[in-house]
Structure 1
Amino acid sequence: MLFQQLSQSPVFRGITPEEMESLLQGAQYRIKKYSKGDMVAFREDRCENLMIVMKGSVKGEMLDPSGKSIKIEDIMAPYPIASAFLFGQRNQFPVNVTANEDVEIFSLAKESVVDLFQKNKVFLINYLNLISNRSQFLANKLMFLNFKTIKGKLANYILKLAAPDKEQVTLPKSQSEMAQFFGVTRPSFARSLKEMEQEGLIETHRRDIKILNRQQLIRLLQQ
């Protein structure tokens, strides 16, 4: 069962359960369980293991200077946690990691990860692709957080969904989820969305958004 689950993870994609069992012989690993709300890792804890969510999901959060929690992302089974931070001079967790629900996490010691790099080329390539994708995600997230206003964040989000030439997009999250993603309250998010509609920038219907003034949306990015 364990090897079947692991073979579904992007880190081990293309490796059969039988190959997984052989690869992990002699490796240092364990499975740890957490309850909903438990802290899996604190920001700046040492990242010494490749951690893969086997069941449930966790969330990565950071605190702004005022102490407000900003959710960076949810990580669901069978995806890894902070894989880009296992190596490097400062291999520490960049965010707090909390269990969204009851979760099980597979942890593979760093030394065993290095051994697997040498034993299996597929695993090595999967890992390199994964950390490259994560680095790009974090870079985009940091750029997004630089926008000082909710309208600026909204404009950036809508324009990204609309690229390159769509005039209508659908928000993939509810208003509550979007507000949490932006690090603001739901009323503040809803008010900003309504103001953008009143200003003739967009037209909304539930999660559907029609762009009415693309140039003005672009100007919001510069505020």
Structure 2
Amino acid sequence: MINNYPVVMQSPLFKGVGMDDLNNVFSSIHYRIKKYDADQIIAFEGDEVKCLYILLKGSVKGEMMDPSGKTIKIEDILPPKPLAIAFVFGSANKFPVNIVSNEPSELLVIEKADALKLFSNNEQILQNFLNVISSRSQFLTQKIKMLSFQTIKGKLANFFLQETKGEAIDFVLNKSQNALAELFGVARPSIGRAFKEMNDDGFIHIKGKSVRIINIQGLRSYLST
């Protein structure tokens, strides 16, 4: 029974849906729980996304190979997030990256036909699904925009401008330097050097996780380099 997994209620796909309603809609569909060992491949890049997958326990990561054969981690995924939800439907419904378990993990697996039953049986679940894939598309669009800037300082400047909505204000950095390095696809020390250079240029002041934007135009000048 789905009520054996209360974490399901915390999934963005089932936000606002009570456990009784969840049990009712799940009683009308087929689903299964799949278990994976640590470091086990869940899906390969290019595999067809045949089901709706929601992580119930453990953690998994998305990773890909660069042209030199080096493995690059794209992101870690924790419960109760769905996997490759934007690729369940559509003509190019392939996993965009390899999915690998970080530790022993469990997935809720729902076939596409049954996922459609979920959406048709509960309007809130359908609305949540549309919100999740829209948010994911917006995130990917923002990430592509960040990667389009050639220099690390350009990437950081764009990130700061997005965080502050283009205003000269103080804010708390919500990502570690490691997380920023992964987001931009660069080495961790490069982020530290870029912070120091931007600070030395007098455009920002950084102390710990506190960032003060001093010169907005100066930051924008990085976007064209």
Offset, 1:83: 1.1
* Partner Cα distance (2:100, 2:172) in 1: 29
Offset, 1:161: 1.3
Offset, 1:176: 2.3
Q: Do structure 1's residue 47 and structure 2's residue 49 form an aligned pair?
A: yes
Q: Do structure 1's residue 76 and structure 2's residue 78 form an aligned pair?
A: yes
* Partner Cα distance (2:95, 2:63) in 1: 11
Residues 86-101 of structure 1 mapped to structure 2, 5 A cutoff: 86-101=88-103
Where 2:10 maps in the other structure, the secondary structure is coil
Offset, 1:163: 1.4
Q: Do structure 1's residue 118 and structure 2's residue 120 form an aligned pair?
A: yes
Residues 4-34 of structure 1: per-residue CA shift (max 9 Å, x gap): 3322211122222222222122523221223
**Which segment drifts farther, 50-59 or 32-41?**
32-41
Amino acid at match of 2:159: Y
Offset, 1:79: 1.4
Amino acid at match of 2:165: A
Report the TM-score when normalising by structure 1.
0.89
Where 1:44 maps in the other structure, the secondary structure is coil
Q: Do structure 1's residue 148 and structure 2's residue 158 form an aligned pair?
A: no
Contact 2:168 2:212 in 1 (8 A): no
* Partner Cα distance (1:147, 1:12) in 2: 36
Where 1:92 maps in the other structure, the secondary structure is coil
Amino acid at match of 1:37: D
Residue of structure 2 equivalent to 1:207: 209
Residues 127-206 of structure 1 mapped to structure 2, 5 A cutoff: 127-206=129-208
Q: How many residues align?
A: 223
* Partner Cα distance (2:157, 2:101) in 1: 31
* Partner Cα distance (1:119, 1:44) in 2: 31
- In structure 2, the CA distance between the partners of 1:21 and 1:36, relative to structure 1 (3 Å rule), is same
* Partner Cα distance (1:13, 1:37) in 2: 30
Q: Do structure 1's residue 109 and structure 2's residue 111 form an aligned pair?
A: yes
* Partner Cα distance (1:63, 1:43) in 2: 10
Residue number among 10, 13, 23 corresponding to 1:11 in the alignment: 13
Residues 155-178 of structure 1: per-residue CA shift (max 9 Å, x gap): 111111111424222222222232
- In structure 2, the CA distance between the partners of 1:67 and 1:111, relative to structure 1 (3 Å rule), is same
Where 1:7 maps in the other structure, the secondary structure is helix
- In structure 2, the CA distance between the partners of 1:79 and 1:166, relative to structure 1 (3 Å rule), is farther
Offset, 1:112: 0.4
Where 2:48 maps in the other structure, the secondary structure is coil
Question: RMSD of the alignment, in Å?
Answer: 2.0
* Partner Cα distance (2:223, 2:166) in 1: 17
Amino acid at match of 1:220: Y
Contact 1:68 1:183 in 2 (8 A): no
* Partner Cα distance (1:153, 1:62) in 2: 21
Offset, 1:102: 2.9
**Which segment drifts farther, 19-28 or 65-74?**
65-74
Amino acid at match of 1:15: V
Contact 1:57 1:103 in 2 (8 A): yes
Percent of pairs with identical residues: 44
**Which segment drifts farther, 105-114 or 165-174?**
165-174
For structure 2, list consecutive stretches of 5 or more residues without a partner in the other structure: none
